[in-house]
């Protein structure tokens, strides 16, 4: 992913990405570079524009289900209710500590 990010960064700045330029971007932020990954990325992206890649990616994302299973959604809702109940209990305990007297009453 970091190799693709460097490629897209170079492309966004108007620079034609090459192996050396991708490597220099990654090394500028202290990332160890694997030359094989850079060459395989450049081979896979050769002849394609960024717009084409984004369109292909959007089509693939559209086929991925985005709804969580009902059991996971209800479990997260139960966890949220439990957290709210704990917060309410803590507030009650804090108000009991004052015993109805204020500091300056």
Q: 31 with 2: CB under 8 angstroms?
A: yes
pTM (2 d.p.): 0.56
Q: Tell me: the pLDDT tens digits for 5-43? A: 999 999 999 999 999 999 999 999 999 999 999 999 999
d(CA 98, CA 105): 12
d(CA 25, CA 30): 9
Give, as one character, the DSSP assignment of residue 57: H
Q: Tell me: the pLDDT tens digits for 49-73? A: 889 988 988 998 888 887 766 655 5
d(CA 12, CA 30): 21
Q: Which CATH class is domain 2-60?
A: mainly alpha
């Amino acid at each position: 992913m970091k190799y693709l990010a460097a490629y897209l960064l170079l492309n966004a700045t108007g620079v034609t990405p090459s192996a050396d330029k991708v490597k220099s971007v990654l090394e500028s932020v202290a990332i160890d570079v694997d030359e094989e990954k850079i060459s395989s990325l450049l081979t896979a992206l050769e002849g394609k524009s960024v717009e084409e890649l984004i369109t292909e990616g959007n089509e693939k994302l559209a086929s991925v289900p985005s709804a969580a299973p009902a059991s996971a959604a209800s479990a997260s809702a139960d966890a949220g209710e439990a957290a709210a109940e704990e917060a309410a209990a803590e507030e009650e305990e804090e108000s009991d500590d004052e015993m109805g007297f204020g500091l300056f009453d």
